[in-house]
Chains A and B, each alone.
Chain A
Amino acid sequence: MRIGVVRFPGSLDDQDAMRAIRLMGGDPVALWHKSDDLGSVDAVILPGGFSYGDYLRCGAIARFSPVMGEVVRRAGQGMPLLGICNGFQILCEARLLPGALIRNEVRVFTAVEQRLRMESNSTVWTSAYTPGAEVSMALKNGEGNYQADAETIARLEGEGRVVARYLDNPNGSVHDIAGIANERGNVVGLMPHPEHNVDPEIATTLDGRGFFESVAAFLSA
C-alpha cells in the first residue's frame, strides 16, 4: 500500500499523514506540489494546512499546482483520493467534490476533539466503519463551514454521499456535514483529521484508523 502525500507550500499535516500511513502498515510517499509525477502510488492524500497561505481562497491556488493535474486525472480513473481539512478545500476548489468551505459561523478558529457520526461505508475510505457509528477525532479549522445549494445537498443526501456528520455542529456546516464523497466513492473530503487519531501514544481515540484500514482493504482486494 503506497500512499502519496502531497506537500504544498504551507502544508502542515503532511508528516502526520505519512506517519499514520506507516503506523497502519503502508508505505508513505512524499509528493511535491511542483512535480506532476505521482510515481507508483496507489492512493493520494491531500493533507491539512494552509496551502499557499490560504491566499485568494483556501485551496484556490493549490488547485492549479502542477501535481493537481495528475491527481485529478488519476482520481478520474478510480484512484483513491482523500482530502483532509485544507485537502477537502482543495478538492472542492478543483470541483472534484461539490460545494465549498467558508469561514466558520462562530468566526473563530476551532480546535476540538470532535464527535462524529459515520454515515456511509460505501466509499473506499470508509468501508471499515459501521454506518451510524459514533466516533471522535481531532478537528481544527477556521474555514470548515460546508455550504452548497439545496439541490446539491439533496443529491448528496439522496445518493448517500455524506460520509460523516458532526454530532454537535462546531462551524455551521449545512446538514452538519463533516465529509462527503464523489459519486464513485473513491474521492472523499473530510474536515476532521483521522491521521491524528491512529497512535495510542498521543491520540485520545484511535477512531481515525478506519480510513487507513478501509483504503488498505480496497487496495488489497
Chain B
Amino acid sequence: MEMYIFVLAVKSILNRKFTIILTIFSIALSVMLLLGVERLRNDARESFANTISGTDLIVGARSGQVQLLLYSVFRIGNPTNNVSWKSYQNISEQRQVAWTVPLSLGDSHRGFRVLGTNQDYFRHYRYAVDRQLEFASGNVFEGIFDAVIGADVARELGYRPGQEIILAHGTGEVSFVKHTGNPFHVVGILRKTGTPVDRTVHVSLQGIEAIHVGWENGSPTPGRQYDPNNPQLYDLQPRAITAALVGLKSRIATFRVQRYINDYPEEPLLAVLPGVALQELWDTMAIAQQALLAISVLVVLVGITGMTTAILTSLNERRREMAVLRSVGARPWHIFVLFVGEAGVVMGIAALAGIVSLYALQLVARPLIQSRLGLYLPVHPPSLHELILLLAAMAAGMLVGLVPAYLAYRYSLADGMTIRI
C-alpha cells in the first residue's frame, strides 16, 4: 500500500515537473549565492592572512597602514612614495632589527608585477605560517639581469629557465614603454605558494636600477642606456626603494622600533604591524560582508517562499489527486508526510545543485579572481560551517513546507474520497 502511495507521489511530481524544476533552479541559485558569499568571506580572509607571516614590520612612505600593506605585500594599488636608501640602511642597522628585505615596485612584465629585491627575500619571506619560498627549478638570481619568476607566471606564459624576458615600465596590463635594451633571463621558478608571489617577477635591485639608466627625466633618453659591456660606467646603487620588510630579534621590541620609524626625523615613514593592518582591513570589510551575507540569506528565503507558493497554488488542483490517494488507502497523515517530503526533496536536490554550481562557478572564476585581485581561493570540500548553513536552509524549507502540508491534511480530512470543487 505504501508502495502505491510512493509511486503515485513520484508520478505526481513528474506530472508537475516544469514548475518543480523551476523551483529547484531558483532555490539552487539562492543556495549557491549564500554559500558563495560565505566561502568568499572566509577564504578571502584566510588567503590574505596566509600571504605574510614572520614579518614584524612593513616599512614604507607615510600613508595608511592598510594601503601600505596592500601595495607592498599584495601588490594591490600603487605606492604613494619611496623610502630613501639611506633611511633603509639606517633602519637595518638598528640593534633590535634582525633582518630587512628591500622591495622595489613599479615595473611589470606582460601584466605581472616586477619586484626588485635582494637574495634576502628568498631567505626571510614567509607565508602561510612560517613556510619558506621553494624553487621548482633553477635558483636565486645572481647577476644583474637574472629573474626569478612565480609559479603562475611560468605556467601562464610557459616560461622555463633561460627564457629571455623584457620588462615594461609601469604596472598596467600593457605598456607602451618597454625596457627593450636590457632583457632579463629567467634563472629560477618558484613553487606555487597561493600568494601574490606566484604572479611576481623577482629581479635584483641593481637590475631595476640598470633598466632605468637614462631615465632621469622620466622617459628614456635615446642613446643612454645601460651597456653591459661597460659596467664600470654605472652606479647601480639604489637610491630609493618602495618598502621594506623588517624582522626583529624580539617581538617585544615591536612597538619601540615602530615608534622609532614613525618618528624618523629625516623623512616621513610609516611602520605597520602586518597582523594589525590585516585586522583593520577585516574590520573595515566586516560591514560589507555582513550586508552581503544578510542579502544572500534573504535571497534563500525568497527562494523558499517561491517554493511554498508553487505548492500552495497546486493545492486546489491536487485535491482530486489526494482523493485518489485516499482511495488506495492513504491516511490523512500520509498526505501530510507526502507534502513535507516533497518540500524536503525539492530542498535537497536544490541544495545539491547549488553546491555543484558553486564549484563550477569557482573553477571558472578562480583564475580571474586571482589575476585581478591577487586572491587565491582554494577549492576545498564544504566546511562544517557551510554544511550548517546548508542544513539551516533545508530546515527552513521543510518548516515552511509544513504550511501547505497542514492545509492538504485538512483538505483530505474534510474531502475524504469524494470531492466537490
Q: Are A and B physically bound partners?
A: no
Interface of B toward A, CB cutoff 8 Å: none
